[in-house]
Structure 1
């Protein structure tokens, strides 16, 4: 390995050797071994103004972006490189950290200085640099003017149109370039258009994770087995294809209606009580009793304080225990965010005071991280919890189509069915499923899904819940 460049001689050699050859630069200077698709993208970035790459996960797009950032900094005089992504975490912890990784062991590390927000040519900090700017305000992308400029947009599907339009408006010079990469999570926006109606203006690439030596084949198969080969999750995260629908019902109407028309026996030793506590004046506090795969008539109340709600939960539990002698245990799953925390505290207090053997309270915070940290298909625990009942309904429906009896019963409650089937989902910029927010549902003129949430809570399992309270005294 040759000695590191000094600044003056290094710049001259790099400009001469690698001006139009980022592939050789990455191999010689960084020790980067590009895949075939990465080679093609690198060549396109060198030769064309706009390049757009949609891909599945784990194919090496962040390494590609980092290599191109360093190449452009070393092989253009007085360049400006702007790196951006939808979130600070994606930008700094992923892309910017990747730049640091490749620079650290490179042949050009003595030419460039890496900081938390900037990489600059030593001795030319003011005009010769790359910078990291989060894509949350259009003005973050404006004010850059230079003969040689490169914008790198990571997770481009998640970048809002006004920000992308600001970037496009900045790229006015002959040697100004744009590289967009990401999972194709949205069927609208600049990134989507670059692969569709504006395709003639871009050099476009699609990378299927199944064809990448870098992607985990085990994870790919797991996604296909769990969601189906033609599901939107697999289309986006494996095939690098745009979803068939950007925002659709998370639970199909036919699934909920089938369960609402069924009758099944209450089998099992555990009573599950899902408790959704009202947050606002018009919302309902709902208690959903479940034994086995049978959900009983929902108990709905308005304008209840936490003490009243806790008392009703305890009374319903005792009533069900009396009616179904096989019951040995009671699990109360409470939406613990907001006012629900008071209900959780009071229930735990009474359970301890009365020595209710076999009773436990399970607080659920829907806004927290999903519990399946290793895979993280979902944006938060609330989406993960809804997915449990959706998967149960889907499995039941599939078996029903094969002639098997319906194995789950929901109350024939019109508001419940509506709430279960009107809530939409979207794919985040990281390829995760995210439920429509309640605030957005209300903007569409819909009720808060209190009844649906209570039923969903009743299906929360130990896999989905982290217990945060100790067992009550008397166990």
Structure 2
């Protein structure tokens, strides 16, 4: 039987009156979804006619080691989850598809249960809770979702009313939370699931995943269903990934709609790979996705209407010319626009919607900032891991990816003068560290600008953060001169390899360094080549750094800031400090660190940081060390080292004098 045209059904007009300006009610009543407080704010800002909403946000999830139950019944640590895994839903039956993985850093908390088990979440993680008894407006058995931060702010009596819950014999049974332990900052891991955000962890505890696109799916269906002949366009720099996620969210919510009181309304929705539409109005009532490159912004032109809406994801990375075309189509007073993104740069239209174009400054854009530390979708453990990874909450990338704040580039250089002074104080490698030696070589061009540099360092640790984060002590700089004599460099390298046991050699094998590399190979000397203009090896690092050079310099900067990089020689200290405090950086459109190229630095009047390069090599992905089987007697010419040597000299003199007196006394006695 053919469907009657939707606009001819009186009940539909009644639903429009009920839900057209209340997305929250639609989500709860029609879809059975309980939105988070952040989603509620977003829904309220979008609902009114002519709305303009801009959201800057971070995200998060679970701590490392959190066990997730796969559809086959096996458990796997959350950090190993990938797009090929199937996760078991909270009903213990349904398979969930992983459509995206995420990582970050935030404050972490360990939740301990009466069963003796525990889970680690970040501050913004969503807890799945059940009421144990009636009271405070809740009935026994009510299920709610709360952020960890919200749970921690509850009064003790309110906390006691709720417990986590797990799946036992097909039913959800309460599991009391006995204690919450603050762990500090750490890295989180998470994922986006289809078609349900609820799944099982260790002990069959019901957990909730991150849901960045969940709001987009709800809003898309709401706009499609309750605005006649409406059109909604999604756009993003990487439209394929966005479309896959949003279309899945629409599919999820359509399934929910079919199970609820408005099941009949779902029959009017047509779902195709390129279009979601109202049946009978396919040509003029639909949701679609489209993108446009910088040089062809007019690709987005051509759509208009009384009920037109544009949603731009990762808006900070969309060229302003493209945004101008997209928003130029909003010619009717009721048209709506939404932009969502991590705040990757302090320029462009997305940035301005949070500043001079925002409602706070008298503009039309409602600017919302969703702090990952406050999101119910981000676990505390995840946030703690993020803080460890980025070094502190003050790290620019932490602010972008977790706090949802725009980067503060008032200081355009990576390392401060004070930090370079602190490099010469104290130690970073101690007796319990089984270190190795690494010799790094940066070959100059020999044309009056670049120096050839050889640096010898003690190295321990192989991680970028955490307990085994790399530690370095530079013990000697045996060569730093404006020459590229390959034979001289080879002779010095050969001498050092004999002097330092088990030392690993790292050589810049680009440009001027290629000749040295070829000579080393002819002599049968193994070395690790550096090609740091290329992309990073690991996928996680590719998401954070534009290339290996950026990874290496940021690793060096974080090590200096945290006291893991120390100078045990005063050689060239003035030049070293000057080079390190003039390493300029930026963020690209994907919130990744970018260290400016040497040509860009030259245009800024900054000389090539050859010593800095040799230090940064130590923080590349493929630079390892072999434990030294003996310690080399290296002179420490820092102030502390000289003072210690003077003390030792005075002690030795006193000891020799005492021994001489004893010898004389013994001779007299005889």
Gaps of 5+ in 1: 399-405, 468-475
CA distance change for structure 1 residues 269 and 68 in 2, over 3 Å: closer, same or farther?
closer
1:158 Cα offset (Å): 2.9
- Is the 2:7–2:228 Cα contact (8 Å) retained in structure 1? no
CA distance change for structure 1 residues 433 and 361 in 2, over 3 Å: closer, same or farther?
closer
Equivalent-residue separation in structure 2 for 1:66 and 1:74 (angstroms): 12
Is it true that 1:19 corresponds to 2:179 in the alignment?
A: no
CA distance change for structure 1 residues 112 and 230 in 2, over 3 Å: closer, same or farther?
same
Is it true that 1:104 corresponds to 2:261 in the alignment?
A: no
CA distance change for structure 1 residues 6 and 221 in 2, over 3 Å: closer, same or farther?
farther
**What residue in structure 1 maps to residue 495 of structure 2?**
319
Residues 213-243 of structure 1, C-alpha deviations (whole Å, 9 max, x = no match): 2113112112334522333333333332333
Equivalent-residue separation in structure 1 for 2:576 and 2:291 (angstroms): 44
Residues 135-176 of structure 1, C-alpha deviations (whole Å, 9 max, x = no match): 634334433322222111212233333333333433221121
1:429 Cα offset (Å): 4.4
Is it true that 1:274 corresponds to 2:440 in the alignment?
A: yes
Q: Secondary structure at the match of 2:339?
A: strand
Is it true that 1:114 corresponds to 2:272 in the alignment?
A: yes
Residues 426-462 of structure 1, C-alpha deviations (whole Å, 9 max, x = no match): 34444443323444323424334444223311x236x
Residues 41-62 of structure 1, C-alpha deviations (whole Å, 9 max, x = no match): 1122121420112222246332
Equivalent-residue separation in structure 2 for 1:15 and 1:381 (angstroms): 58
Residues 160-218 of structure 1, C-alpha deviations (whole Å, 9 max, x = no match): 33333333433221121111112223333322322222222122322222222211311
CA distance change for structure 1 residues 419 and 374 in 2, over 3 Å: closer, same or farther?
closer
Equivalent-residue separation in structure 2 for 1:129 and 1:385 (angstroms): 44
Q: Secondary structure at the match of 1:396?
A: coil
**What residue in structure 1 maps to residue 578 of structure 2?**
418
Instruction: Give the strand-richer structure, 1 or 2.
Output: 2
- Is the 1:370–1:384 Cα contact (8 Å) retained in structure 2? no
Equivalent-residue separation in structure 2 for 1:164 and 1:426 (angstroms): 22
Equivalent-residue separation in structure 2 for 1:454 and 1:377 (angstroms): 22
Q: Secondary structure at the match of 1:296?
A: strand
1:296 is aligned, of 477, 492, 503, to 477
| TM-score normalized with structure 1 length | 0.76
Equivalent-residue separation in structure 2 for 1:121 and 1:259 (angstroms): 65
Residues 357-395 of structure 1, C-alpha deviations (whole Å, 9 max, x = no match): xx5425454432254738954443322211232233223
- Is the 2:528–2:623 Cα contact (8 Å) retained in structure 1? no
Q: Secondary structure at the match of 2:335?
A: strand
**What residue in structure 2 maps to residue 394 of structure 1?**
561
Moved more, 124-133 or 201-210: 124-133
**What residue in structure 1 maps to residue 211 of structure 2?**
60
Is it true that 1:255 corresponds to 2:416 in the alignment?
A: no
Equivalent-residue separation in structure 1 for 2:435 and 2:384 (angstroms): 36
- Is the 2:59–2:377 Cα contact (8 Å) retained in structure 1? no
Moved more, 187-196 or 8-17: 8-17
2:548 is aligned, of 351, 374, 381, to 381
2:294 is aligned, of 131, 136, 161, to 136
Q: Secondary structure at the match of 1:218?
A: helix
CA distance change for structure 1 residues 154 and 342 in 2, over 3 Å: closer, same or farther?
farther
- Spell out the pairing of 1:316-355 with structure 2 (5 A cutoff): 316-321=492-497, 324=499, 327-336=500-509, 344=517, 347-351=520-524
Equivalent-residue separation in structure 1 for 2:571 and 2:5 (angstroms): 77
Is it true that 1:232 corresponds to 2:396 in the alignment?
A: yes
Is it true that 1:50 corresponds to 2:52 in the alignment?
A: yes
**What residue in structure 1 maps to residue 622 of structure 2?**
465
Q: Secondary structure at the match of 1:284?
A: coil
Gaps of 5+ in 2: 61-209, 259-265, 459-472, 625-670
1:8 Cα offset (Å): 3.6
2:407 is aligned, of 243, 249, 256, to 243
Equivalent-residue separation in structure 1 for 2:316 and 2:428 (angstroms): 44
Moved more, 311-320 or 381-390: 311-320
**What residue in structure 2 maps to residue 401 of structure 1?**
none
- Spell out the pairing of 1:183-198 with structure 2 (5 A cutoff): 183-198=342-357
CA distance change for structure 1 residues 436 and 142 in 2, over 3 Å: closer, same or farther?
farther
Equivalent-residue separation in structure 1 for 2:513 and 2:24 (angstroms): 57
Q: Secondary structure at the match of 1:256?
A: helix
- Is the 1:53–1:205 Cα contact (8 Å) retained in structure 2? yes
**What residue in structure 2 maps to residue 162 of structure 1?**
321
- Is the 2:452–2:610 Cα contact (8 Å) retained in structure 1? yes
Equivalent-residue separation in structure 2 for 1:454 and 1:423 (angstroms): 14
**What residue in structure 2 maps to residue 77 of structure 1?**
228
**What residue in structure 1 maps to residue 366 of structure 2?**
203
Equivalent-residue separation in structure 2 for 1:249 and 1:187 (angstroms): 15
2:240 is aligned, of 83, 92, 96, to 92
Moved more, 428-437 or 384-393: 428-437
1:249 Cα offset (Å): 0.9
Equivalent-residue separation in structure 2 for 1:29 and 1:6 (angstroms): 21
State the structure with more CA Rg. Answer: 2
| TM-score normalized with structure 2 length | 0.56
Equivalent-residue separation in structure 2 for 1:345 and 1:120 (angstroms): 63
Is it true that 1:444 corresponds to 2:611 in the alignment?
A: no
- Corresponding pairs, count: 433
Equivalent-residue separation in structure 2 for 1:239 and 1:433 (angstroms): 17
Equivalent-residue separation in structure 2 for 1:109 and 1:385 (angstroms): 55
- Is the 1:269–1:328 Cα contact (8 Å) retained in structure 2? no
- Spell out the pairing of 1:353-364 with structure 2 (5 A cutoff): 359-364=526-531
- Is the 1:186–1:427 Cα contact (8 Å) retained in structure 2? yes
Q: Secondary structure at the match of 2:377?
A: coil
Instruction: Give the helix-richer structure, 1 or 2.
Output: 1
Equivalent-residue separation in structure 1 for 2:272 and 2:510 (angstroms): 42
